[in-house]
Structure 1
Amino acid sequence: MFSLFSFIAFTGLVATISYFKTRDDDHAHGRSYFLAGNMLTGWVIAGSLMLTNLSTEQLIGLNGNAYTHGAQVMAWEIIAAFAMVVMALFFFPRYWKGQITTVPEFLERRFDKQTRRFLGAVFLISIFTNFLPFVLYSGAIGMNTLFGVPDLLGVSDGAAIWIMVWAIGIAGGIYAIFGGLKAVAISDSINGIGLMIGG
């Protein structure tokens, strides 16, 4: 019960801080919504990059896979760290100079508007069909195991998985849709501090 209480309290703290830091932000323009009004510090950006790249697929899936097959399954993540540094040092300055904020925006400048729309749709479909289901499902498994959701709610394991999938998806959507990048970056950074302290 303590685990559930501490999780709810910490999540409430993160939500409260994120709300008060972003409540006066204007999200009417893309630059404010996608770039947080250029007001993020280096520490918040670093925390957000780290926690955006770290989710249940790593905390649950990659750890289990490494236990079963060895540490070589983590090679992808090690190379990803180097790729992020190369991106930050070499590509980011060019995108920043060109005031390019999203990949579809880059594709429109490089090719045309039809390419932007087509590949934007491909990206969205890919995220909704290939990425989010695994992240939501593994998160639901973790929550069910950690908090005993089936016993807590008096439902079957399958129903508890669905409840947690929807709860995680709605909570993440609220952060991202209503708060924009700034809310996501702030919540990521605070969650990162909590992850380092609490394990």
Structure 2
Amino acid sequence: MNEVSSTDLAAMLCSRLCHDMLSPVGAMSNGLELLASETDPEMRRNCMELLEQSATISTNKLKFFRLAFGAAGGFGERVPVEEPKALVEALARDKGRIEVEWALGGANLSKPAVKVLLNFAQIALDALVRGGRLDIGAELREGACEIVVRAGGDRIAFDEVIGRALEGSLPAEELSSRTAAAHMIQLLARECGGGLQYALGEDALVLGAVLPEPEGLIG
């Protein structure tokens, strides 16, 4: 498989970010237009509620993408687990009807592990189109970080082209903004000497990763 260039991958990730931000930012724009022309007090309160909700969703998404896609400036080589937990729970609240359960075996994770965990969570949340439960686990074992994310619900919406990107079997010419994040963490896992896998059933999607950690970074 030909490798996609770093420039093309960055462009695809930017497209994904813009796609996800368009709805809440557009809602803010609409709310401001309504607020400027509306005189009824009740309607103005509704506009303010719309603006507050859209601003919260936009902020949550930007914080998420900063850590899931970006360089995660402000952190050292390891990130406290409270950070990814807060980001995932905020996105789950924004989607609604999703229960999140955690099983984290340490106080912090390496940056690559955090990126994999967050992108797994995003894929799993997108799969729960009718709500459900998200189980997220991570632990250090024998010098490697093992991550498991399970999405369970009445209907699982998962395009297996994303699974091919996770496994590294999707040709570069078939990559798109929908699969760029999965491809990115596949490259990240490979650079660490690890790998990703997934399993899809009628009512569950399970995503797994094993990421060996360099000596001196386990904590």
Is the shorter-chain TM-score for this pair beyond 0.5, marking a shared fold?
Answer: no
| TM-score, length basis structure 2 | 0.29
More strand by share: 2
| TM-score, length basis structure 1 | 0.31
More helix by share: 1
